Structure 1
Amino acid sequence: MVATPSINSLPYEVRQTIYSLLGQHHTNSYRWHGGPTSTIAHYATVSREWQEEFERFTFREIRVTPNSLKCFAHVFKSPRRRAIVQTLRFHISLDTYPSYLDGEQETSAERRRSTEIVTEALGTFFQAMTHWRKTDTSPLGLDLHLLVDSPNDSATLLGRNGTPLVTGRAMTSHLKLNLETLSLPLIDIFSGFRCTGRHMQPTSLLAIVSKLQMLEYLDVELNHDSARKRDVQQRNNFVIGLEQYAETVRVLSLRRPSPMITPSTAPPKEPWSDFYAHLRAFSRQCESFEFDDCIDAAQFFVPFMAGPLPSNESPKSHQEVPLWARLKRLNVRNSYMMKEPYLRVPNRVEALAHVQKVLVAIGRASLRMPELQFARVCQYVLNDDQLEWFVLTYECYAGRAVLRLRGFVPGKAMIDAWKHPITEKRVEFHIHVEGNDSNAPEL
């Protein structure tokens, strides 16, 4: 009787293919968090070789909690295992609360308690990560995803996409760190940082960012719908601090918090304010920049709203006109919902006029983006519960630039605004208007 051949008798390349196929099949089922092993983890128990191969899949993305930090440190003593990790998800759970408080903001005492939990957890986590060295990790560095929420923040109701909605308490109870007691060591192993869950005050985010010395990618929420002096100052301090503490960031993504239950007064229209001036200045170091309603595109691109097109020579008369020498990707999303707390206009006519100005201004600004390869500008207008989309997509590769438009017909001003920068690059220029809606407005 012929013995069954062992998998170890197969050529190395064949074994690697088998491991890879098994790993890809179970990629969506793994999550290490110090608890029960996932399906793919069982393969690691077959042999030492299988263990090392399947850890390449199970350890790519690690979920860590304050309670599992000790176990995490033990499992990842090995430099071999540390080199596998690509993303660390640090999940901080706040106190639970009964369902009848779903729509109520946290009390002062509860806010202080949340602050204590987050401040202490971050201090412990950062201290644990000081035992990691940059040489232990991938040359690309690690992504840090900070998630802070309560187990009760998910409502029983489902949204349109089938995911649970967030409770009113989760939307309105913002987080902050105790900056007087916070003591975080400098860390050089993280190249990306993303924060989700409860909205965190911008200056608290900045305190974390300031400790990530090699940060290249930043994806955070920025409050946008309050004219209160404290909130305006938070925004200003955050963007001014970026210039000081985020010099290495090349990919910047700014998101609005979840809509407020109780609308507040919109921030004043001050395109030349310290906030917009410093944000324009900081964005010049970016290779990729995206934002939604937390930034008003009309205010951000105000230098390109009127007057002659800025020159590439940047004469003295255009000293305040930014040059995005590195920018390759731009993604802009703004809403004109005609209701709080979004960007607001009194009627559809003014909304369309605003959309047209933004699309033209960004086209003019693209002249100051010599390396731009991709841009997507989405403007949404909600009128009588009817959502209108106006989408412009720009792609420039291999000596060919294509402008794709959806939801509107381009007017002469818009075509000229985008055609001029493309002509300067001496590439082919093509325009495609998608759809065949005879009611589409001309912008």
Structure 2
Amino acid sequence: MESLPPELISRILVYIIDGRLRSHPGISLAPYATLSRRWQAQIERCTFSYIYITTPRRLEEFERLLWTPRRRSCVRFIQLVVELESYDEKARAHFETDEERQRNDEIFTTTIGSLFKILSDWPANLDIGVDIKAQSPGDYLALKDPKERRQRKRAAAERVNDLLNKRYERSYLKFSRTTTETECPVVPAVTGLSIWGAAKGRLIEPASSVFIASKLPRLNRVDLEMQDDCRRDEQLRQLLRSDFARNLDLFPGSVQRFGLRFFHAPPRNQNYLPPDITEDGVDILSSQLRTFSQRLERLEINDSVVGPELFWPSTLPGDNLVNPPFWPLLIEVSVKYMEITPSGEWLLDRDPGETPEDSTDDFDATFGDEEDSYPEYVRIPLQDRKSKFFRTRIIAGHIDRLYASAGRAALRMPKLRWMTLQNVGPVHYSLEYEVQAGLSKLTWRNQDLTDGPYEPDALVRREKAKSLYQPDEEVFEIWRNVAIQHTGRDVEIEFKEWGC
């Protein structure tokens, strides 16, 4: 075995690993490392490339096993699941207390600090990605046994016996802002960071992601999944949102790729207006993201509530900015925004030909949730108790402002090659701009629900497209100027129905 060349050992390992994953996922690769030193080196390159840390004991094993430079050089990705304080069956029926929250904050900060202490003396020329989320062994999302999950769901049917995820719906884990260099040192070896602070585990304070990232001076790639949806406490939502926005500048200057899913769901009942989360009419998050993005190469925002300030400052028509924003490095932009504005408006309205009786009511959450049946704190929020879907027509003024703002910004993005703006919701529409081989193309896609399903015939599609939303002439003019600046030629414009 020792005489086999490394290339042949690698080929053999491909078959072993592939067969193990498909047919025998429980079989360990570790025994193969005892065949010879060459096999050991190749096996460790696989086994140490992806590190999964779920308990303090696993963290200790990680430090013990990866003390040699050779093994450290094998590591490509570390997934850290911070194990929070456990709680008993009785506690499942109660919200997390302030004392429990403080203890979990300390565990969260200490665990991340412990990992960073281990990594702090690793070589700076490594390229390691770190993935962070947090769970308690008592959390419903942490359960792996299907039987136990069913039991918990049955207990939760009475609402007050088991709150499931509602137990910590207002408890956002915080990474201490006062950690010293000794408690949490900087880590040059980490270049990628993902933090899951919403659906995949416990809620994490959005601003804490920035303070964690500030410990990583060579950080290049950031992906964040955060919650922006405090239904029962709008003041808390506003605080978390603005605190995150005002600390964005603490991200290391080395960050080039930034992905953010800042999830917020509009009211299920479209008769309700979404909350106004602006300050003096300006969305602070959108404005701060605009400033932050001016040092990026790639920007991706998903499932978020953003306004035109994301691209261009709120100004009166004709105003000239003294220092207009400039994105010298930005190549790709993707923004998928919710169908509401930060100022509390819908981007869609009722079709003029539709009556209130035509609106759909395909979800009734009040079934089994009658008044006085349960305490208000466990009832479904008022705006979500019935699903009323009737907003199908784009409000052109809102969309024109967003598209015009994006176009003005694109004029200040000399390296831009691709931009897409797409709404998230049951009615689809988008703007797509692409520069390729010296030519630029602008595609507007939108869906007209009143005209029936997708029509495969091209002539029919073109006729139908005439009735669909078309941007204001000012928007057209701005994007023509963008194309001329990027390619020296006029832009190719195409209107399409969604799905074409």
**Structure 1 length as normaliser, TM-score?**
0.76
User: Which residue of structure 2 lines up, in the alignment, with residue 357 of structure 1?
Assistant: 401
2: CA distance between counterparts of 1:341 and 1:110?
35
1: CA distance between counterparts of 2:266 and 2:246?
26
Asked whether 1:403 is paired with 2:407, we answer no
Secondary structure of the corresponding residue to residue 68 of structure 1: helix
For structure 1, the residue ranges without an aligned partner over 5 or more in a row are 1-5, 32-36, 158-165, 311-316, 382-386
Alignment equivalent of 1:430, drawn from 478, 482, 492 = 492
User: Which residue of structure 2 lines up, in the alignment, with residue 53 of structure 1?
Assistant: 42
Q: Is the 8 Å Cα contact of residues 290 and 309 (structure 2) preserved in structure 1?
A: no
User: Which residue of structure 2 lines up, in the alignment, with residue 253 of structure 1?
Assistant: 259
1: CA distance between counterparts of 2:212 and 2:116?
10
Alignment equivalent of 1:420, drawn from 474, 481, 493 = 481
User: Which residue of structure 1 lines up, in the alignment, with residue 71 of structure 2?
Assistant: 81
Asked whether 1:150 is paired with 2:136, we answer yes
Could you tell me how far 1:261 is from its partner in structure 2? 11
User: Which residue of structure 1 lines up, in the alignment, with residue 175 of structure 2?
Assistant: 177
Q: Is the 8 Å Cα contact of residues 305 and 361 (structure 1) preserved in structure 2?
A: no
For structure 2, the residue ranges without an aligned partner over 5 or more in a row are 144-148, 151-163, 350-390, 448-467
Could you tell me how far 1:229 is from its partner in structure 2? 6.1
User: Which residue of structure 2 lines up, in the alignment, with residue 202 of structure 1?
Assistant: 206
User: Which residue of structure 1 lines up, in the alignment, with residue 424 of structure 2?
Assistant: 380
User: Which residue of structure 2 lines up, in the alignment, with residue 322 of structure 1?
Assistant: 325
What whole-Å deviation, never above 9, does each CA across 1:249-295 have from its counterpart, x for those lacking one?
Answer: 11222222576999994412656566544432221001111223545
Asked whether 1:62 is paired with 2:51, we answer yes
2: CA distance between counterparts of 1:343 and 1:98?
43
User: Which residue of structure 2 lines up, in the alignment, with residue 186 of structure 1?
Assistant: 186
Taking only aligned residues, the RMSD between alpha carbons, in angstroms, comes to 4.0
Change (3 A) 1:239 1:390: same
2: CA distance between counterparts of 1:103 and 1:365?
50
2: CA distance between counterparts of 1:254 and 1:372?
20
Change (3 A) 1:395 1:99: farther
1: CA distance between counterparts of 2:248 and 2:107?
26
Could you tell me how far 1:221 is from its partner in structure 2? 4.2
Could you tell me how far 1:334 is from its partner in structure 2? 1.1
Q: Is the 8 Å Cα contact of residues 292 and 333 (structure 1) preserved in structure 2?
A: yes
User: Which residue of structure 2 lines up, in the alignment, with residue 160 of structure 1?
Assistant: none
Count of residue correspondences: 402
Q: State the one-letter code of the partner of 1:127.
A: K
What whole-Å deviation, never above 9, does each CA across 1:216-268 have from its counterpart, x for those lacking one?
Answer: 22222455456966654554444443324522211222222576999994412
Alignment equivalent of 2:123, drawn from 133, 145, 169 = 133
Change (3 A) 1:373 1:124: same
Could you tell me how far 1:324 is from its partner in structure 2? 0.9
Amino-acid identity (%): 24
Secondary structure of the corresponding residue to residue 336 of structure 2: strand
Q: State the one-letter code of the partner of 2:336.
A: R
Secondary structure of the corresponding residue to residue 286 of structure 1: coil
Q: Is the 8 Å Cα contact of residues 411 and 481 (structure 2) preserved in structure 1?
A: yes
Q: Is the 8 Å Cα contact of residues 334 and 419 (structure 2) preserved in structure 1?
A: yes
Greater shift, 91-100 or 62-71, is seen at 91-100
What whole-Å deviation, never above 9, does each CA across 1:32-89 have from its counterpart, x for those lacking one?
Answer: xxxxx75444543443322222332332221123221221112111211211211111
**Structure 2 length as normaliser, TM-score?**
0.68
Change (3 A) 1:63 1:277: same
2: CA distance between counterparts of 1:393 and 1:40?
46
Secondary structure of the corresponding residue to residue 420 of structure 1: helix
2: CA distance between counterparts of 1:274 and 1:146?
26
Change (3 A) 1:346 1:399: closer
Change (3 A) 1:434 1:113: same
Secondary structure of the corresponding residue to residue 192 of structure 2: strand
Q: Is the 8 Å Cα contact of residues 284 and 325 (structure 1) preserved in structure 2?
A: yes
Q: Is the 8 Å Cα contact of residues 224 and 293 (structure 1) preserved in structure 2?
A: no
What whole-Å deviation, never above 9, does each CA across 1:79-129 have from its counterpart, x for those lacking one?
Answer: 112112111111112234467866853122221221122122223222222
Q: Is the 8 Å Cα contact of residues 337 and 380 (structure 1) preserved in structure 2?
A: no
2: CA distance between counterparts of 1:251 and 1:378?
19
Alignment equivalent of 1:286, drawn from 296, 299, 302 = 296
Q: Is the 8 Å Cα contact of residues 276 and 300 (structure 1) preserved in structure 2?
A: yes
Q: Is the 8 Å Cα contact of residues 29 and 38 (structure 1) preserved in structure 2?
A: no
Could you tell me how far 1:375 is from its partner in structure 2? 1.7
2: CA distance between counterparts of 1:217 and 1:359?
27
Could you tell me how far 1:307 is from its partner in structure 2? 3.7
What whole-Å deviation, never above 9, does each CA across 1:328-361 have from its counterpart, x for those lacking one?
Answer: 11111111269x9997468335655423432343
Change (3 A) 1:367 1:19: same
